[in-house]
Structure 1
Amino acid sequence: MNNLQGRNGRPVNVVTNSFEIKRLPMRQFHHYDAIIKQDPAKGDAPLPPGRRYREIIETMQNSYPKVFTPRASYDGNKNMYSTARIPSGNFTVKMSPNPNSNRGVYEVRMSLVSTIQPSDLQRLITHEGADVLGAPTANLNTVAVNLLQVIVSQGPHIAFNFSLHAKSFYTERGARDLSGGLVAWKGFFQSVRPVLGRFIVNVDTTTAAFYKPIELLSCAMEVLGLRNTRPLLHIGEDKQKVDKLRRFLKGVAVYVKPTNRKKIIKDIVIEAGYQEFPKDGKSITVEAHYLASHGIVLKYPEAFGVKFGGDAIFPAEVCKIVEGQRYKRKLSPEDTTKFMQQSVSKPAERMRAIGEAVRGMPLNYGTSSWMQEAGLEVSADPITLAGRELVAPRVRYGSGSLNVSRGAWNVVNQKLSAPARIRAWGAVVFDASPNFQQKVESFLAAVTNNMRRLEIDREPIKELGNPYDVHASLNNAARRALEGIQPPKGPDGKYLKIKPTFIIAVLPRDAPDIRKQVKQWGDIVYGVPTQCVRAGKYDDQRGQDQYCNNIALKINIKAGGVNSQVETAPQTALNAILENCMIVGCDVSHPAPGITHRPSIASLVASYDPGATKYRTYIDAQLPRQEVIDRIDEMLKAAIENYQARHEGVLPQTIVIYRDGVSEGEFWRINESEIAKIDAMLQVFNPKPSLVFIVVGKRHHVRFFPSDRSQGDKNGNCNPGLVVDKGIVHSKLMDFYLQSHSGIIGTSRPSHYIVLKNGPQWSADLLQELSYALCFVYAIATRSVSIPAPVYCA
């Protein structure tokens, strides 16, 4: 730890869920493209991706043992790696067990792409070898890392029948049923990463939702919430149920009797057994066909059936859902709760499970034949690292500064830093639960009492809302709230149009449609801040005071006030930096999976006050699922001009951008597009502001655990303020992990900060302290959050 002495923060040792690769392959590997073609008689089209890939490649290696000895490693897509030279050319693969059958014949076209030397792997862990900001031309870096990833994951993924190109696999052990034909499985994530001086394997526990591998009729009953098959036989009379079932089943793979071949569902058909089709010059029903051709008597001919792309119809009762299929749509609130309960684990429990998996089942690093053949060895012991606990800043309110304890502070009896003035406000009540009037009166009285720290001119008006005409109810409330208020006059002597400061909407316990309409009215139609509260929260007497306090904090911000400001230690340079710095957060929100007709929304928020507590928002629509922000330069230019106008023409000296949602494989795109555009745009300003561009990563599996339990919190997590910038960081870029928040449940996840641009050449210490301080200015929280506030706002 000597190298950490003199740096800010208290030195601590932590254990991470990463394991060093102690021995790398010492032989060269040949990298091949393995392109799988359809049955040659059907044309030269590539086979669509899927699990069939692995089965075909495995059969090919077994069919040509002289060529594929030793076995080649395969990534489940098109990349194969072998220490032996494989002749380029076409290999015919027969998948049918019948040697005389012409069905299931495939062709694999093998072609040599590159050769990976042991020196290529060694170069990746040096400063010179890990270039991630340049366009991937030859992609040798990616291929070399992929080689190690394939070797490490090959054994368990094959053993548990999971896709080879994924980084996670799952088992049924400890599974938990969800509702609607779903189940939560636990598994393990593995990722090989080059860091400065070594390769590591990041191992973590993970949980995912899967389609339950049950009979298709049983699945449909669960999806529709039916207790027996009788209602299922008449779902054609209920279009909503048919549509719900169609959405759930589309794209799901099933086994089909009597052959048990796997097929992908494209559509569903009502009363499948009674549908007719031509056969041998006659019309025959599906029910009669199954009896005559397969000897199968359909028990429920009136039930629905499925189609797999053609015109053929298959009754649901001859189908069973294939195991191991991920469910990638959004879970219901009830299932989300069950899923979280399944996935959350305490730090000690999580690390114990990871250690057991690495030393034995199911990862089997010590006995994996794939790793032994490659000469690859992974340490059984997790890596211990030297880190630091940064000193938390103080949080300043109107009545003074507060000390932070374990990432939290108490705002009881504290005055707000800059209270907003509330001239007109009201509440629209859409909740009609028993005794709602008494509950609403009690709640509004409590909110008003908590808002005494604000400048309130008058009591709120109360409007009973119509849930079937939300906009009209809100319009009435806005009109009534303004009654008796004299609007100010403009420069021309005419009265200016005024609006209420905000409107509270009191909602039933589950009313997403009403909430959507409230936000549409407030944010788009009328242009006034709204605050929604729902039954079960606003009427809970046990936590009402804290809840009302949180509501007051939100309202103050929405009304233009400031709740608190961060106050760093006098000896740091942060206070001076924040005085002349514009802090920016950027993110892109994408439509739900499978939706291709809706645009992605790029958002940028930029601070315009010295404490980085007030932000201006800029949004833009762009192509669906595009991560690069097309017009980031235009959005940022508008933000700079707004800053300049609010500071009497003075430009910010430095612009610090925190960019969310970018993976390492996209760094070069961000560098060549977003950063390049910003650099060009900044040339128009004089003096030109300096640029710092930091990617904030949250979707990773690196975790830290106290090496000494006494150095952690009561749940076994590391204390807030932990920063790690040695041992598992990038070999070329400046990056660090910062765990800025206190874990409430489960294992805390640090955020990963990667510096892509550092114009002013700030030190790592300064960037870490700045990032940590910005985790204390999220206006509606009384504790530090896991990422800087502008990222949350974006």
Structure 2
Amino acid sequence: MEKAEEVDLPPPPPIPPNVKPESMKPPKYSIVSRPGVGRSGRQIKLVANHFKVAVNATDAVFYQYTVKITSEDDRAIESKGIGRKIVDKLYNTYSSELAGKRFAYDGEKSLYTVGPLPQKKFEFMIVLEESFAKRESGSPDSGGIGKRAKRSFRSKTYKVELSYSAKIPLKSISLALKGAESDNTTQDALRVLDIILRQQAANRGCLLVRQSFFHDDSQSYVDVGGGVSGLRGFHSSFRPSQGGLSLNMDVSTTMILTPGPVIEFLKANQNARDPQAINWQKAKRMLKNMRIKTRHNNMEFKITGLSEKNCHELYFPMKVRDGSNSGEEQTVEISVYDYFTKNCQIELVYSAYMPCIDVGKPKRPNYLPLELCSLVSLQRYTKALSVSQRSSLVEKSRQKPQDRIRTLTNAVRSNQYDEDPLLSECGISIGKQLTEVDGRVLETPKLKVGERDTCFPNKGRWNFNNKKFLDPKAIERWIVVNFSARCDISRISRDLINCARNKGINMQRPHTLIEEDRNAAFGSPVARVEEMFESIKKKVPGPPDFILCVLPVRKNSDIYGPWKKKCLSDMGIVTQCISPGKINDQYLTNLLLKINSKLGGINSLLEIEHPSNLPLIKDTPTLILGMDVSHGSPGQSDIPSIAAVVGSCYWPLISRYRASVRTQSPKVEMIDALYKPLENGNDDGIIRELLLEFFNTSKGRKPKQIIVFRDGVSESQFNQVLNIELEQIVKAYQHMGEEDVPKFTVIIAQKNHHTKLFQANGPENVPPGTVVDSKIVHPRNYDFYMCAHAGMIGTSRPAHYHVLVDEIGFSPDQLQNLIHSLSYVYQRSTTAISIVAPICYAHLAASQMGQFMKFEESSETASARVTSAGGIQVPELPRLNKKVAGSMFFC
């Protein structure tokens, strides 16, 4: 299944706090250049969503100026919205003093021009007029509403200082395109071009999210429930490639609050049938800082809170004339409800018994009835999506390949980039057609399954119909437990046994079936798990080899984390959780693929793996590592990040893996526990664990070659991978008494990028095994795109592989075929996957062990704490029980 368009990722997270500054020097391992291109596979004509950019004025130079904006009281202005208004006014007011130069402004502290301004320093005073509601003595602090309130204007004066900062020649891009090593100047020049596009989008009123822009177009909304919508927009960025400079344009999606009446948002957000069912404490937390517009006077405010009392109970003092000829004023107490209905003649249908929205300051509240307020459009929603919201987003935002091509070409034409004065001044023009590229479709690897059968995958898929697993593990002493799910567990176990025997697994009848006690179902998740294990101890003489656990909720069950922790960490028992809906042979087969892998069996192997015929691997002990770091959801700044590394075992196999997982500081991407020396001289790091497993399962051999697949890092972090992570792997290897350092091949795998491939002569997705290593790739560095999987719906997203180091010396064909093959060894599935299996396994291991702490999120044990010394104390994950530590528990 294709994923929905990813929301643009945040800027790269910081490096680990224990990394010394000297480790940021140029790496010992330098990033390798492209050795050539692959030749294997059949040729295929493709197009990519890169639009050719012609640069005619290569002698143009960008001048960068630092922008400092302060208010009348010398307070720095940080708001991007205000900053853009002020700089626009600056250009319109002082154009002649600035030699008529056009600006490219990033909305913050940098401004760029083509050629220099007349001076290196400027100081300007800018006056902005803002509308506001004028309050007179008789009106309440209730939004300045009513007959007495008038729309007025006030002026604010700002000081703008411009000071020269740097020169950025456009020719640095031309040099990079010719194969020169990219430097900061090249990246700076590309960034200026991106800023020009962002500024153009900002001028059209778009919401900007890093390198994507979103227009307020109702046809681009995708309702995902809960008062949240996906908004479809476009990502755009300039990229140097072998074919020259190109504009990478792609469809992008960001999450926003669904605009409209606040009360409708709250009902949708809380799944409430009517306003009376709304939880107002929850609503208060949710609404804080949202922007609203009032329907009676069309003014905009930011929500600061909700009133404690309902609208008809909320009184304030108001001055009124006594009606006599003297016209004297007297103060009366009036409710907010009466003020709006009687004084302002505004009909309020349901506000009387609801809180009011507060848009004032802490000591001067400013109340508005709920039904007069609507959420304004283009407000980002940054919280994590629920499972149902995410699946709805995936389903509703898919686009077929031809639809996406049409959307992108229309967007490039409608944005009229050629009319942008700054791009014209640089001599830049952007083509209107997608780039044609030559691709190759690699040969599909054959698989070995049970009874010496050869399996021939077709279009990236295969099955076990009338076939047995290659190495099925007998399941003798096992039990089934049911956490109050409504299902027939006797039938489930019977059907599972029959399916298992068809796949070659000798599966006995379960020792016992245990239903959760009805009273226990009302306890906390941890208490329910403990209660279940008490029942197991009473009914089973000794720990079972395997437990099938039936959960009542299909996704995100709160029992899952405590159950996995109890089984894997405390007891050392292999377990498989299910929440069955429709049970058929395919469902049971998929279940057995996981169970057999967890118990140490092998479902299938590559034909070239059994016996081994893998180039450069079959004769030299080779360890394959998959590395990934998973972070807390957006807004969870104190949830520790989880680093997971899987390592291959049983060399020369490349299908069997063991995982090692650790916590680390929140939002830190670089793994800091690969090598972890202790005071007693031992190493408690991840790599030692995996090296020992390799040694113990590979006939006492030590790896002489290590292939590292690293997921989730941006191009700006490549040197950190070599400096920080690769250095730790080397130290861990040397700590085990080895003087000779193994040869390394280090490959970064990226899925979060915006390059898409399309067949030039067909409506379908590109076939599985499609690889592109020319024209749209980096002009110097060693990278390529591969779409190993079959995209059945939506538009396929190829994986983007960057080879940083290759001491092993693979030819392009050897490396691409190895990576393609590693998409067919994923034991959980009978389909080729979109990225190499070691990375998928690392992601699964991090995710599953992260569940160990999830049920404790409200307690201190699950959150990182700041110590008295100012450092961050991160809670450690419970270690796996030694009985299951070497298993593929993550399958």
Tell me if TM exceeds 0.5: yes
- Matched residue SS, 1:502: strand
Q: Could you tell me how far 1:119 is from its partner in structure 2?
A: 1.8
Higher mean alpha-carbon deviation, 6-15 vs 158-167, is at 158-167
Secondary structure (helix, strand or coil) at the match of 1:598 reads coil
1:149–1:192 contact (8 Å) kept in structure 2:
yes
Rounded to whole Å, the distance in 2 between the matches of 1:164 and 1:595 is 20
Q: Work out whether 1:30 is the aligned partner of 2:63.
A: yes
Aligned pairs for 1:53-72 within 5 A: 53-68=83-98, 69-72=100-103
CA distance in 1, matches of 2:575, 2:637: 31
> Which residue number corresponds to residue 479 of structure 1?
537
The whole-number CA distance in structure 1 between the counterparts of 2:187 and 2:616 is 41
Query: For the Cα contact (< 8 Å) 2:257–2:378, is it kept in 1?
Result: yes
The change in CA–CA distance for 1:143 and 1:432 in structure 2 (over 3 A counts) is: closer
Q: 2:353 & 2:128 partners in 1: Cα distance?
A: 35
Corresponding position: 1:624 with 2:666 = yes
State the Cα deviation string for residues 389-415 of structure 1 (Å, max 9, x = none): 111111111222211211111212222
1:252 aligns with 2:252: no
Determine which structure has greater relative contact order: mean sequence separation of CA pairs < 8 Å that are 6+ residues apart, divided by chain length.
2
Quick one: structure 1 residues 250 and 581, their matched pair in 2 at CA, closer, same or farther if it must change by over 3 Å?
farther
Match of 1:9 in 2: 41
Structure 1 letter corresponding to 2:103:
A
Greater shift after overlay, 365-374 or 580-589?
365-374
Structure 1 residues 180 and 504: CA distance shift in structure 2, 3 A: closer
Aligned CA distance change for structure 1 residues 282 and 616 (closer, same or farther; 3 Å): farther
- 1:639 aligned to which of 690, 694, 704: 690
Report the secondary structure of 2:193's partner residue.
helix
Structure 2: give runs of 5+ residues left out of the alignment.
1-34, 133-151, 320-329, 676-684, 843-891
Given that 1:155 and 1:370 are in contact with CA atoms closer than 8 Å, whether structure 2 keeps it comes out as no
**Structure 2: how far apart are the matches of 1:512 and 1:107?**
55
| In 1, Cα distance between equivalents of 2:663 and 2:635 | 18
Structure 1 residue 309, shift from structure 2 partner: 5.8
1:113-512 matched pairs, under 5 angstroms:
113-131=165-183, 139-163=184-208, 165-170=210-215, 171-196=217-242, 198-229=244-275, 231=276, 235=278, 241-255=279-293, 262-271=300-309, 273=311, 274-275=313-314, 287=336, 299=348, 300=351, 302-304=353-355, 305-307=357-359, 310-311=362-363, 312-315=365-368, 316-358=370-412, 360-361=413-414, 363-399=415-451, 400-433=453-486, 436-437=487-488, 440-452=489-501, 453-466=504-517, 467-468=521-522, 470-472=528-530, 474-476=532-534, 478-479=536-537, 482-483=540-541, 498-508=543-553, 512=557
| Cα-Cα RMSD | 3.2
User: Is contact 1:463–1:473 with CA below 8 Å preserved after alignment?
Assistant: no
Give the counterpart letter for 2:303 in structure 1: I
In structure 1, what is the Cα distance between the partners aligned to 2:262 and 2:347? 14
Contact 1:266–1:308 under 8 Å retained in 2 = yes
Letter in 2 for 1:507: P
| C-alpha contact (below 8 Å) 2:212/2:233 kept by paired residues | no
| Aligned CA distance change for structure 1 residues 187 and 419 (closer, same or farther; 3 Å) | same
Distance 1:563 1:251, change over 3 A: farther
2:795 matched to which residue of 1?
A: 747
8 Å contact from structure 1 (residues 502, 530) kept in 2? yes
Q: Are the aligned partners of 1:503 and 1:531 in contact in 2 as well (CA < 8 Å)?
A: yes
Going from structure 1 to structure 2, the CA distance change for 1:213 and 1:450 (only over 3 Å counts) comes to same
Q: Give the distance between the partners of 1:5 and 1:121, measured in 2 at CA.
A: 23
Aligned partners of 2:343, 2:774: CA distance in 1, in Å? Answer: 66
Task: For 1:697 and 1:595, locate their aligned partners in 2 and report how far apart those are by CA, in whole Å.
Answer: 24
State the alpha-carbon separation in 1 of the partners of residues 37 and 690 from structure 2: 40
Instruction: Kindly provide the CA deviation profile for residues 47-104 of structure 1, in whole angstroms up to 9, marking residues without a partner as x.
Output: 3344333222222222222245232012233222112533423333222158997753
Cα distance change, pair 22–749 in 1 and its aligned pair in 2 (3 A)? same
CA distance in 2, matches of 1:174, 1:18: 22
When residues 306 and 792 of structure 1 are mapped into structure 2, their CA distance, relative to the original with a 3 A threshold, is farther
SS at match of 1:512: coil
Aligned residue identity for 2:247: V
Across the two proteins, how many residue pairs are aligned to each other?
745
Q: 1:688 to 1:140 in 2, by over 3 A?
A: same
Q: Which has the larger displacement, 752-761 or 87-96?
A: 87-96
Deviation at 1:129, TM superposition (A): 3.2
1:276 CA drift (Å): 6.0
Of the structure 1 ranges 566-575 and 342-351, higher mean CA displacement relative to structure 2 is found in: 566-575
Q: Which amino acid aligns with 1:401?
A: T
Instruction: Report the CA distance between 1:554 and its aligned residue.
Output: 0.8
Cα distance in structure 2, aligned partners of 1:98 and 1:556: 69
- The residue aligned with 1:594 is 635
Q: Name the CA shift for 1:107/1:631 in 2 (closer, same or farther; >3 Å).
A: farther
- Note closer, same or farther for the CA distance 1:690–1:259 as it changes in structure 2 (3 Å cut): farther
- SS of 2:417's equivalent in the other structure is coil
Find the residue that maps to 2:434 and give its secondary structure: coil
Q: 2:113 matched to which residue of 1?
A: 82
Could you report, residue by residue, the CA deviation over 1:410-449 in whole angstroms, capped at 9, with x for unpaired residues? 212222222223231111123453xx33xx3332211111
Q: CA deviation at 1:686?
A: 4.0
Give the whole-Å Cα distance in 1 for the aligned partners of 2:273 and 2:600: 53
Alignment of 1:664 with 2:715, yes or no, is: yes
| In structure 2, C-alpha distance between the alignment counterparts of 1:272 and 1:664, rounded to whole Å | 54
How far apart are 1:593 and its partner, in Å? 0.7
- Counterpart of 2:622, as a letter, is C
Distance 1:366 1:474 in 2: 68
Whether contact under 8 Å (2:387, 2:555) holds in the other structure is no
Q: Say whether the 8 Å CA contact 2:37–2:812 is kept in structure 1.
A: no
Cα offset for 1:465? Answer: 1.8
Using structure 2 for the length normalisation, give the TM-score: 0.77
Aligned to 2:16: none
Are the aligned partners of 1:178 and 1:338 in contact in 2 as well (CA < 8 Å)?
yes
Query: 2:69 corresponds to which letter in structure 1?
Result: I
How far apart are 1:579 and its partner, in Å? 6.5
Deviations 1:670-707 (A, max 9, x none): 23222233344444424422111111100011111111
What residue ranges of structure 1 are gaps of 5+ in the alignment?
132-138, 236-240, 484-496, 539-543, 710-714
Say if 2:788 and 2:834, in contact at 8 Å, map to a contact too: yes
Q: Does 1:563 align with 2:603?
A: yes
Read off the aligned partner of 2:483 and give its amino acid letter: F
Contact 1:125–1:196 (CA under 8 A) maintained in structure 2: yes
Amino acid at match of 1:16: A
CA distance in 2, matches of 1:317, 1:54: 32
Query: Deviation at 1:553?
Result: 0.8
- Range with greater deviation from structure 2 (122-131 or 626-635): 122-131
Choose 755-764 or 259-268, whichever is displaced more: 259-268
Pair 1:734-2:782 in alignment = yes
Q: Tell me, what secondary structure is at the counterpart of 1:601?
A: strand
- Deviations along 1:592-615, one digit per CA (max 9) or x if unpaired, are 111122111111111112222222
**Do residues 722 (structure 1) and 773 (structure 2) align?**
no
> Are the counterparts in 2 of residues 29 and 116 from structure 1 also a CA contact under 8 Å?
yes
Partner of 1:583: 624
2:805 to 745, 750, 757: 757
3-state SS in 2 of match to 1:244: helix
Query: Structure 1 residue 658: deviation in Å?
Result: 0.8
Asked if the contact 2:490/2:513 (under 8 Å) is kept, the reply is: no
CA shift for structure 1 position 158 = 2.2
Q: Which amino acid aligns with 1:203?
A: M
Give the structure 1 partner of residue 566 of structure 2: 521
Q: Is the Cα–Cα contact under 8 Å of residues 479 and 547 in structure 2 kept in the other structure?
A: yes
Which whole-Å CA distance do the structure 1 matches of 2:548 and 2:808 have between them? 44
Query: Structure 1 CA distance, aligned partners of 2:185 and 2:424?
Result: 24
